Amino acid sequence: MLIEESPGDRVMVFVDLRNVMQSDLVKTRRDQGWEIDLVSLVRSLPGNRRLVGVYAFDTLRRHDDGFVRGLSLVRALRFQGFRVIAPTDEPDEPGTQKEADVMLATEMLVQAFQGTFDVAIVVSGDRDFIPAIRAVQNLGRRVEVAALQGTYTSKLVESADRFHIVDELPFLRPSEEVTA
Amino acid sequence: MTPPTIGELNPEIAKKLGLDEYQIDQLAEEAGRWEGRIILVTFVVPPPRTDGKKDPIAYLPPSYQRFGVVDRDHRQRVNVGETWLVETVQKGPGTLFLIPLLRLDPKSLLELQPSRMRELADHIAVKNPSLAKELAAKLPAPPDPVVARQYEEARATIQELQKNVDQLSRDKASLETQLGQLTAMKQTSGAPASAASGGPNPLRRRPAEAPVTTSSPRIPASPSADGITLERLEGEQVHSTALVHLAYEIHFTGDLYRIILRPSPTGVPCDRGKMVLRGLSRVDHSPPPATYSMFWDERLGGFVAYIGQSQRALEPITTPP
């Protein structure tokens, strides 16, 4: 590996929830009776380095009856120490993820300016993040990208200082209903 | 060469002032009395002046009976409140002019560069021989060449010995790893571990101290590099001598190729190396018994067991067009 991990490095993880949860691999595994443990995934990414913060971004969907979908996941993640930023979608654009990418990029840049991390790990295969990744790198911070197979492009891999294939990380456990 | 007196330089001025030869010589002597001295001063705000100037001044030691002002060529360098090592220049019987040489602050005192030290020493040696002589008397005598050579030889020997100690420490760690593996193998074959090693089982430490991590904490050369195995006994029950904690968190990788067992008090209970890995039968469809290669991954903070041989039995994942 070209860039070695240093135990003293402060790592901050930025998760694009929609990109992970709506990926084909995750959907398939959920259909096969596996639960997704995002905490385990995030714990595995920094390795021996210090994890100083985890941000998760998504847009919650409000149904016609007022029920907001995905709120239980947000609450569960918040209990686990995630800082979840997930506004509810607009009535005229139901079901679309808006603002999340920009919110993630903005938060990463603000944290980089404030010097709160040495290494940022973006969990997403979305190439929209490439300009933000470059801007953070220009501030002297390292940016790593973690993405699932089939969700990322080579441009995104090139822009990152290091690339993690999420498929090879531990984040699955058998769901209670199937195995009981 | 004796410097010329004011009378010699400008007899008319001396005549206008009504000074005789003796008084002129006295003034000339006085004028050169404080010339070229190196002293330590702190610059302060000057008292109000009629001309309104506010250049910093320095009160000199009492014996000087005067104050000093910064030489006009160096005014930009000096600020009020700074302490400087200065050289005095006397251009007349009154005020002394000060040429700042070195500002004394924590940085200059603690991080004085060798080139700056040499510059300062040269300046003192040339400009202030009496101070140089005084400093030379206070300096320790240079070491005897023979003693200096012996000292350097001893230092080289110490460094060499230190290297040997480091190498021996590495060898010891490696041997401990091998011992741990051999003990584990012997335990698997039924013999008591403590009897085999003559002491406590090195694997019965917490994972961070387990010798299996010292040889290759990150990525092993091959899955079986550490020689630890995970045995599937029946159903989803497994056993390994390396599992010494009371409970483990179990996670499968996304590709269902590996299983990670992290020590955790809230995880799946583990009794004397035996535990149930829920979901294992869904990944490995072949009937037990089976043996999986396992190693301790420092990065993930747990044991990694390879179960990938059953991957083909799973349904293929549909990929997007």
3-state DSSP assignment of residue B226: coil
Rg of chain A on CA atoms, in Å:
16
B-chain residues within 8 Å CB-CB of A179?
Answer: 278-279
Tokens of B243: 């599992």
**Which burial class, exposed, middle or buried, applies to B279 when counting CB atoms under 10 A from its CB (0-12, 13-18, 19+)?**
buried
* Number of domains observed in the structure of chain A: 1
The reply to whether B105 and B29 lie within a common domain is no
Domain range for B4 is: 1-33
pLDDT, residue B8, reads 60
The reply to whether B254 and B290 lie within a common domain is yes
Residues constituting chain B: 321
pLDDT, residue B311, reads 40
Terminal CA-to-CA distance of chain A, rounded, Å?
42
Residue B292 domain-assigned (yes or no): yes
pLDDT, residue B178, reads 80
- Pairwise CB contact (< 8 Å): B260 & A170: yes
Tokens of B44: 């302060």
- Residue matched to tokens 């630890």: B228
The reply to whether B47 and B122 lie within a common domain is yes
pLDDT, residue B140, reads 79
Residue A5 domain-assigned (yes or no): no
User: In chain B, which among 232-261 make CB contacts under 8 A with chain A?
Assistant: 249-260
Residue A4 domain-assigned (yes or no): no
Q: Which of B218, B236, B253 to mutate to test the interface with A (most CBs of A within 10 A)?
A: B253
The reply to whether B227 and B245 lie within a common domain is yes
B-chain residues within 8 Å CB-CB of A172?
Answer: 251-254, 256, 279
Q: Which of B248, B314, B317 to mutate to test the interface with A (most CBs of A within 10 A)?
A: B317
**Alpha-carbon distance B151 to B148, whole Å?**
5
The reply to whether B15 and B46 lie within a common domain is no
A-chain residues within 8 Å CB-CB of B254?
Answer: 25-26, 29, 148, 166-169, 171-172
Nearest by Cα to A147 from A134, A138, A133, A137 = A133
E-assigned strands of chain B? 38-44, 57-59, 67-70, 83-90, 96-103, 228-234, 237-239, 247-253, 258-263, 268-269, 274-276, 290-297, 302-306
- Residue matched to tokens 């335990």: B187
Domain range for A54 is: 10-179
Minimal-distance CA residue of chain A relative to B208: A48
Instruction: Tell me the sheet residues that pair with B89.
Output: B97
Residue B141 domain-assigned (yes or no): no
Q: CA-CA distances (angstroms) from residue B155 to B142, B147, B160?
A: 19, 12, 9
pLDDT in tens, chain B (321 residues): 555 555 566 667 777 778 777 777 777 676 667 777 888 888 888 777 777 777 788 888 777 777 888 888 887 778 888 888 888 887 766 778 898 888 877 766 666 677 777 777 777 777 777 777 888 888 877 778 888 889 989 999 998 998 888 888 888 877 877 887 788 777 766 544 444 444 444 444 444 444 433 333 344 434 444 578 888 888 888 999 888 888 899 999 988 889 999 998 888 888 888 899 888 888 887 777 888 888 888 888 889 988 865 443 444 444 443
DSSP B66: S
Residue B175 domain-assigned (yes or no): no
Residue A27 domain-assigned (yes or no): yes
- Pairwise CB contact (< 8 Å): B319 & A24: yes
Q: Which of these three, B136, B163, B186, is where a domain ends?
A: B136
Residue A140 domain-assigned (yes or no): yes
**Residue A161 carries which side chain, given as an amino acid letter?**
D
Domain CATH code at residue A51? 3.40.50.1010
- Residue matched to tokens 């293929």: B316
Nearest by Cα to B256 from A12, A16, A110, A167 = A167
The reply to whether B76 and B16 lie within a common domain is no
* Number of domains observed in the structure of chain B: 3
Taking CA B279 as the corner, what is the angle to CA B278 and CA B285, rounded to the nearest 5 degrees?
130
- Residue matched to tokens 């037990």: B288
Could you give the ipTM of this predicted complex?
0.86
Predicted confidence (pLDDT) per residue in B278-320, tens digit:
888 888 877 778 888 888 888 888 899 888 654 434 444 444 4
B133 C-beta neighbours (distance < 10 Å), count: 10
Residue B281 domain-assigned (yes or no): yes
- Pairwise CB contact (< 8 Å): A24 & B255: no
Residue B153 domain-assigned (yes or no): no
The reply to whether B19 and B79 lie within a common domain is no
Residue B215 domain-assigned (yes or no): yes
Q: Which of A169, A175, A177 to mutate to test the interface with B (most CBs of B within 10 A)?
A: A169
pLDDT in tens, chain A (180 residues): 566 778 888 999 999 988 888 888 888 888 888 888 999 999 999 988 999 999 999 888 777 666 777 777 888 888 888 898 888 766 666 556 667 888 999 999 999 999 999 999 999 998 899 999 999 999 989 999 999 988 888 888 999 999 999 998 999 988 875 443
Tokens of B83: 């302490």
B-chain residues within 8 Å CB-CB of A173?
Answer: 250-252, 278-279
